[in-house]
């Protein structure tokens, strides 16, 4: 409930259009309506121009279509993450208005212009850095989401720690970013190295890339958390979306 | 190598004092000399008014004293973390100029005024939130470090999820912060709940508080990373310092 | 051995038909014969109007059919849990008298009216609460089983901790229940929050929903056991049936 | 805010005593005031005659004393759990009014008569069962807490599964209980066996008793959760208090 | 080197056909030649009438056929374990002389009469006991292997600890065995209970039956090793063959 | 209930002293009374000349003394395992009749001659083999217990797999044993090697010797269970007593 | 930046073509340019005659083809590891010039003669040893890679520790190698045994062969690292390529 | 059996002093006698000038003294590793001839000149590199052992990946080594970075330095094994000695 509608309710009560009991009834449900309003309030994504987000992982094509349609009718931008190619194909047969970003496993429905960041400070760029080519799907999820959220994104891929020269050759890209998303599987050492090279927040994204002792991303994650660089925080394994979400909040100042 | 010494080298070469081969030799080794200069460059903490930080955990009193003296002579602010009461007492017998913050297990040597944040945008406050009273040492490490780094800090302690009313009663504190540090042990649910209430980055700090299935902080950490709230990132178990470090970088805009 | 047959034995002994040694021999083996009777006694489910339960997981269609037929002939109600759609289809081709509850992955054969709870006290309702929509299959298993066992069930779905307002808006439903089943995957924080809001037993059911650090339900489980709310107990991952079974025993007073 | 006070507010607004802006202001803050009221509501322990509980584990003597004094002044009963003998001695030097139950590692301050259970139904007894003598401290914590909470408690100790006859010899005690707390370390098999013998809820408490593959209680816990008996739920390792708390809620009907 | 060839060497040396140095040279390499003979010696299975055993798990149909043919030509009995139905079908198309035991996932080629146990003492029977019906494939592997190895086998299936009466009703079977193989998944409590009832060695076989905290057999295994019964040893998860092998060695006296 | 008292009951019934109903009542409770008799029956250790065993680990000197005194009065042999030197010293100050075997961490009270094995077959010797000198305490626990249980024991220590010649030099000792106890920490490879050299049951005892990836004995245990030798079973980490117990049961034929 | 271009820069500066500031600017960026040159330097594989290596695992046929073509044009030898049969077939339909080594899961493009080792010392042979036949694919990966890298390779397969005689019979092969690669799954004991027999470096390769407590290679790995032989180091599970790579570096002297 | 005694045996046989059967008997036992000789043969350390090594960890002062004395009498060099200061002090009170290297936790008895490496090729230097100062004890163990084994050692300490410039400034030291030992705790990223900079074998030593997700060295170890650099192998956590041992074998060519 917006302040305006609450004001309206009070006026209708004073004018007699609404009986005391009806007003009471209405207001008695306020805490939660208010919370329902708060719900909108916590729908900060919408208010901030961020789209509604649906995790496609483990949902059927039918479920995805149903949810997207419901969100579409509310006029917001809609983002579906973790959509495999075949599922994306089937969803778009029913909802051809969705844009498909296969490299990032995303479906996207733009109904509003992307939010222009700014807030308190001038926003900068988000650098998305990967250790190996196999980390690309997660990195693209992060990069495309960050772009859809209105950020300027710089990609720096395949600069793993076993070939430092590639990383160092692009140190300007790293140092000019407001916040960095560093994506790595296997031993997950890249965020520590990048963290030591820059004075900005580094969001580390472990990936499930690798075999054996890579333990499906757990080794990379543990290493990122035990990092000797103090400016590194981590998100869940393969969670490119979450990294982009937090990076956007940081970038907006 | 400072710009001045490089300029000097060039002049000596032009003047003939240095042969082409000698100059070449000198310059060929530049990358690492330059990097030795860059070393200063990566001393971003110093340049940004952040103190040099020494992890006290596992160091002897002698080692702490030796390192602090070396840093003191360079004129920077010095922060020693994870110092147990007895060790702090002994260090200060030799170095009484160190300030002791026992609640945060910190020693502090101020030789310069705290950095005034600002940067691109206006900086805000950092909220430090805990689930239980046993999380206080870690939270105080975060809060005091953030203060020493020049941030405005709001503390909100003992508002664990099993007593939601306490948390909700202080929702204004949560919503007014630029970035939040949420400290919790046991099941580590608080960052998810706080993350759902605010539109700002939440840095989750798992603590080793609890017993049995709390697994010394691992359960809280896993839960924070698997959080259903998209604005949550995590640092290592009990790493209050790291959370404050990143929060400062975010807050500076 | 029934009381009747024991009485008969005694009579045969007194009449001299059975010698002392023969009676002694017979009686010496009583413990286990008696226990064979006790076997019926531990068939508490049957006596209490609860159905016989078959875990479908890992059983072939043939095995399920064979067991159901054997139980059918004894006149009891029969419940088969964890039956995937295709298996359910095939079982019902042979046993069309089975009712299929696909949303709960259950097959159900009603041969007796549901038990009317009551016992010592008046029974109440069981609330089944979920954190996310992906937890529904497990929750439905719990809810439908509880209904089939004769309980009144209130469903409250998709009220995860990252959107507290949805949960708080239904606090009356939570508080009016005699016992609550709270189903959650990922970080599994919901039972702690619900536990703090009510004064009744909360049975937490971790689900294998999530990815990465969700560890297939282990993280949710560990968190539920390390819960800061004292009224929470846990069952195995995805064990909706078990939660409903215990909730029924609690609800019967 | 009660309905009455809300009605009053509406009247004051209609009468003009309250301006539209003032009413709006008042109503806008309703959710949390209401929740602030709920705060009292969640103090269910107090309302139900249960004592306030303080986890002594990891708290200093000073901290325990300070908290107990604060609670004492509010007139409630106070329970301190996990107090080692030396700490208990020191606390009681300052607060001799506390009763010490060393076998259960509890301190107890009775300021009100124990709550008489009853509620909807007639309450029964709680059976506390252990596998071995080493499980006694945890079992005593459960048993004494249950007694202090007003329950009738039956103890059945040292009836582990490798000596079934001891367990079976006391089957009447098991079957007459309204709810059972079964405490076991090592392989933790006892709750499964007891669960198969009774038709009541069994709360399993794993203990950290054992060595090697007992893994400090983790093996017992995993086994209890994977139990083939459907009426078993589990609490955290060594959490005798939690088991007694839930058992009390179940027993009260 | 057979005794005969060694004797021959000695004779050639004495006859002067072989010089001292040549004989020395020949003998100096004896350890490994001798060990090559010892190779036959460690073929204890053959000498004891036990078949050669091939682990089918992870081998292709071609590989199985090739190995079986090689062994067939040497005249020994051949046992192939862990053969899935389709693979067994294909192997027998090429080698129809193999007997198929689908319930035990075994292929069997009898070329010699089963060994008649006896040895030092009179051999007894081996009891194979299971907790649930889902443990049958592993139990049948153990039972059929034990039979093929010439043991008398008693099966006692589906006597899990949650229904003690079934187990106790057959206590005579348990007590009359020379050695017991107890097969259980989930919480794996049955070997502890059986171990307490008998005075003979109990070989515990954990199975991968169960879900969630059963952890694919790890929970059962850990519990069996932490057993409170002193006469229990364990083999690998699902290793019915190994249990039968050891039981045979024990039974032979 | 002894056979005598049952016979008495029958006579009292026939004489009319006991009514049919009273006899029925009495007999109906027989299972557990009978089992109470069975209780003695499961005291197989006593009947077989094995001592009563007390696990000293985690028990106080007072508790050990109390239990030993109780057992002493019943005339049986008593064995206390895992007694550290200081505790042993204190126990023997009160109970000087106990023999101390410090190398095996055992206390021993002989009140009866050791049982002479034999049973069905001729018993043989038990070989106790260790990989390194650090495994000695566990091995001695096994060896001394086996001796106290009346077995002939052969020790073969410090023959780890990294120095095969030492092991092979004693192959006669290995091959002449009826059953082998092989004790190893670190990578725990010795039981596999020994298992391949002999045709008898090998009981593997992992020890907590080692550091890092030895994981306190878990690595050795896992390796022993995954052994490529089919005649190996395992007991819990450091459980020398359990190995000796089972070896004795095997050796008795 | 090559020495030539640096020399050129100096000349342009001395000639006045470049101002001091411009030269300074240019030189200030040297570190990373220089490192860009270093990039070639770290292409040690190429310089040493080692091929470029592509990990096929998890790459699509399209990706493999694209990378191979790019490398082919640079004239180097190309090695693709972990290529399953079907993928290899499809890749070679497009790139028939690739040699397929199915037993080692490798594709190989030779454009240059294999490097002739030598370096400082005379290179020796690499022994590749396996415990069981199921370890062959990993061993062949190691053996073929080592051959393609120009080493002499001796294979010694299926000499697991449960049949020592086979291993000992080939001790000459073991002792004549300059470096040994020992491949084993299950309990992974072979490297310890081999390590004790030779005075050369042993590279242990755990394989994912086995079931249950083999834990997909983790048990073998842990055991190899906890080895009692001091000359053993380990690589990742199933990493035959890495072992061959390091062995080549050792063998080259 | 020495060649001489074997020659003697042959002569006694030819002379008729020994019958054919007696000679056969004698020779049949040769394998293990011969292996008893081989025992000396596997004393490769001695033959190669390497000292005998005693792991001090977990040994008492008495045990250390006894072993050292035994070895001293055989004239070899003796190395005792992992000796804590107090123990070293006590050992040297009895054996003052031992040299103490406290920084490396070693005791050292030189009775022979250090072996001069060389072998097939020219030996080079061993670089010992650490990530942080806390890794020094392990690194010093490696460095001092390597020196005692006759290698030239270059130390490069405290060059962790979060401060790359320090590492790069010493790249010449890295590249001039024949083999590198890289010691790191926490996330253990340094070996991957160093591995990418050099074309020589890198032996990675994880240390137990760190807290929380460092998991006592397990995280560093897992990361080292999952390294993206192909020239990295790993040893056990904190195993500086093992790394030096293997590095020496590599360095000797």
Q: Which of C127, C137, C129 is nearest to C160 (CA)?
A: C129
pLDDT at res. F116 = 54
Our answer on whether C and H touch (3+ beta-carbon pairs < 8 Å) is no
Average the pLDDT over each of D193-202, G67-76, G205-214 and give the range with the smallest value.
G67-76
- DSSP alpha helices (H): ranges in D177-225? 190-197, 218-225
Percent of chain F with pLDDT over 90: 49
Domains of chain H: which residue ranges?
3-15+31-109, 119-252
DSSP letters along B213-233, please? Answer: GGGGGHHHHHHHHT-S-TTEE
Per the prediction, chain B carries an average pLDDT of 83
Low-confidence ranges of chain C (pLDDT < 50): 1-2, 28-48, 117-121
Option in B7, B23, B34 nearest G31 (CB): B34
Our answer on whether E and B touch (3+ beta-carbon pairs < 8 Å) is no
Nearest CA-CA distance, residue H128 and chain A, Å: 19
In whole angstroms, give the CA distance from residue F184 to residue F208: 9
H227 or H43, which is more confident: H227
**Hey, is the C-beta of C168 within 8 angstroms of any chain D C-beta?**
yes
pLDDT, mean of residues H97-124: 78
Helix (H) or strand (E) holding G147: helix G136-148
Q: How confident is the model at residue G162 (pLDDT cuts 50, 70, 90)?
A: confident
pLDDT at res. D245 = 95
Q: How confident is the model at residue D5 (pLDDT cuts 50, 70, 90)?
A: low
Q: Do B230 and A242 touch (CB under 8 A)?
A: yes
Contacts of A251 in chain B (CB under 8 A): none
Look at residue A108 and give its three-state secondary structure: strand
Q: Do G10 and B24 touch (CB under 8 A)?
A: yes
Contacts of C35 in chain F (CB under 8 A): 31
pLDDT of D67 over the 90 cut: no
Contacts of D28 in chain B (CB under 8 A): none
pLDDT at res. F24 = 66
- Over the stretch F51-63, which tens digit does the pLDDT of each residue have? 788 888 878 898 8
pLDDT of G88 over the 90 cut: yes
In terms of CA atoms, which chain E residue is nearest residue G214? E236
Nearest CA-CA distance, residue H239 and chain A, Å: 19
Q: Do D231 and C221 touch (CB under 8 A)?
A: no
pLDDT at res. G100 = 96
Contacts of D7 in chain A (CB under 8 A): 20, 24
Contacts of E245 in chain F (CB under 8 A): 230-231
pLDDT at res. B32 = 36
Which residues, at least 6 apart from A243, have a Cβ–Cβ distance to it below 8 Å? A142, A181, A183, A203, A205, A235, B233
pLDDT at res. F11 = 80
What residues 196-225 of chain B have any CB closer than 8 A to a CB of chain D?
A: 209, 211-214
pLDDT at res. A41 = 34
pLDDT at res. E2 = 43
- Over the stretch B104-155, which tens digit does the pLDDT of each residue have? 999 999 887 765 544 444 579 999 999 988 899 999 999 999 999 999 999 9
Average the pLDDT over each of C27-36, G180-189, H199-208 and give the range with the smallest value.
C27-36
**Hey, is the C-beta of F29 within 8 angstroms of any chain C C-beta?**
no
pLDDT, mean of residues D132-141: 91
CA angle D232–D233–D237, rounded 5-degree value? 120
Percent of chain F with pLDDT over 70: 83
Average the pLDDT over each of A21-30, H17-26, H128-137 and give the range with the smallest value.
A21-30
Do strands A152-156 and A125-130 pair parallel, antiparallel, or not at all (unpaired)?
A: parallel
A92 or B1, which is more confident: A92
pLDDT of F200 over the 90 cut: yes
pLDDT of A205 over the 60 cut: yes
ipTM of the complex: 0.81
Residue C99 in contact with residue C110, Cβ under 8 Å? yes
- Over the stretch E82-117, which tens digit does the pLDDT of each residue have? 999 999 999 999 999 999 999 999 999 988 776 554
- Over the stretch G90-118, which tens digit does the pLDDT of each residue have? 999 999 999 999 999 999 998 877 655 44
pLDDT at res. A83 = 94
pLDDT of F118 over the 70 cut: no
Q: What is the 3-class SS of chain E, one letter each residue?
A: CCHHHHHHHHHHHHCCCCCHHHHHHHHHCHHHHHHHHHHHHHCHHHHCCCCEEEECCCCCHHHHHHHHHHHHCCCCCEEEECCCHHHHHHHHHHCCCCEEEHHHCEEEECCCCCCCCCCCCCCCEEEEEECCHHHHHHHHHHHHHHHHCCCEEEEECCCCHHHHHHHHCCHHHHHHCCEEEEEECCCCCHHHHHHHHCCCCEEEEECCCCCHHHHHHHHHHHHHHCCCCCCEEECCCCCHHHHHHHHHHHHCC
pLDDT of D248 over the 90 cut: yes
**Hey, is the C-beta of C22 within 8 angstroms of any chain F C-beta?**
no
Option in G32, G57, G59 nearest A211 (CB): G57
Cα B113 to Cα B52, B72, B80, H28, H151, distances in angstroms: 14, 15, 18, 87, 51
Average the pLDDT over each of A27-31, B195-199, C239-243, H215-219 and give the range with the smallest value.
A27-31
Q: Do E58 and G134 touch (CB under 8 A)?
A: yes
In terms of CA atoms, which chain D residue is nearest residue F60? D134
Q: Which chains touch F (3 or more CB pairs under 8 A)?
A: C, D, E, G, H
pLDDT at res. A119 = 47
Q: Which two tokens stand for residue G13?
A: 């500066």
Per the prediction, chain F carries an average pLDDT of 83
pLDDT of A183 over the 60 cut: yes
Q: How confident is the model at residue H213 (pLDDT cuts 50, 70, 90)?
A: very high
pLDDT at res. E97 = 95
- Over the stretch B30-69, which tens digit does the pLDDT of each residue have? 433 333 333 333 334 433 456 788 888 878 898 889 888 8
DSSP letters along F117-134, please? Answer: --SSS---EEEEEESSGG
- Over the stretch E20-34, which tens digit does the pLDDT of each residue have? 777 766 664 443 333
State the CATH class of domain F119-252: alpha beta
In whole angstroms, give the CA distance from residue C191 to residue C206: 9
Q: Do B231 and A250 touch (CB under 8 A)?
A: no
pLDDT at res. G118 = 47
pLDDT at res. A24 = 64
Q: Which of B87-101, G28-42, H21-35 is most confident?
A: B87-101
Our answer on whether F and G touch (3+ beta-carbon pairs < 8 Å) is yes
- Over the stretch E185-241, which tens digit does the pLDDT of each residue have? 998 999 999 998 898 999 999 999 888 999 999 999 999 999 888 999 999 999 999
Nearest CA-CA distance, residue D108 and chain E, Å: 35
pLDDT of A240 over the 80 cut: yes
pLDDT at res. D244 = 97
**Hey, is the C-beta of A60 within 8 angstroms of any chain C C-beta?**
no
E210 or H206, which is more confident: H206
Cα H61 to Cα F55, H68, H82, H86, H89, distances in angstroms: 29, 11, 12, 10, 10
- Over the stretch G143-157, which tens digit does the pLDDT of each residue have? 999 999 999 999 999
Which residues, at least 6 apart from B180, have a Cβ–Cβ distance to it below 8 Å? B126, B127, B128, B129, B174, B194, B198, B200, B201, B202, B203
């Amino acid at each position: 409930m917006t302040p305006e509608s609450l004001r309206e309710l009070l006026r209708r009560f004073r004018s007699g259009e609404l009986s005391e009991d009806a007003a009471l009834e209405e207001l008695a449900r306020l805490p939660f309506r208010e919370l329902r309003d708060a719900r909108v309030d916590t729908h900060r994504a919408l208010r901030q121009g961020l789209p509604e987000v649906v995790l496609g992982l483990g949902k059927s094509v039918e479920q995805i279509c149903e949810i997207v349609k419901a969100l579409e009718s509310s006029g917001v931008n809609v983002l579906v993450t973790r959509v495999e190619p075949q599922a994306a194909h089937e969803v778009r047969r029913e909802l051809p208005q969705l844009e498909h970003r296969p490299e990032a496993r995303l479906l996207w429905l733009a109904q509003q212009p992307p939010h222009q960041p700014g807030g308190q400070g001038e926003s900068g760029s988000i650098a998305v850095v990967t250790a190996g080519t196999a980390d690309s799907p997660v990195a693209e999820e992060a990069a495309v989401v960050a772009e859809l959220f209105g950020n300027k994104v710089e990609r720096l891929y395949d600069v793993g720690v076993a070939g430092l020269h590639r990383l160092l050759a692009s140190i300007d890209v790293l140092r000019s970013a407001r916040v960095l998303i560093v994506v790595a599987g296997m031993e997950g050492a890249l965020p520590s190295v990048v963290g030591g090279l820059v004075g900005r927040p580094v969001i580390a994204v472990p990936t499930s890339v690798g075999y054996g002792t890579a333990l499906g991303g757990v080794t990379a994650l543990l290493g990122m958390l035990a990092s000797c660089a103090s400016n590194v925080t981590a998100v869940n394994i393969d969670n490119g979306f979450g990294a982009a979400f937090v990076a956007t909040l940081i970038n907006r100042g």
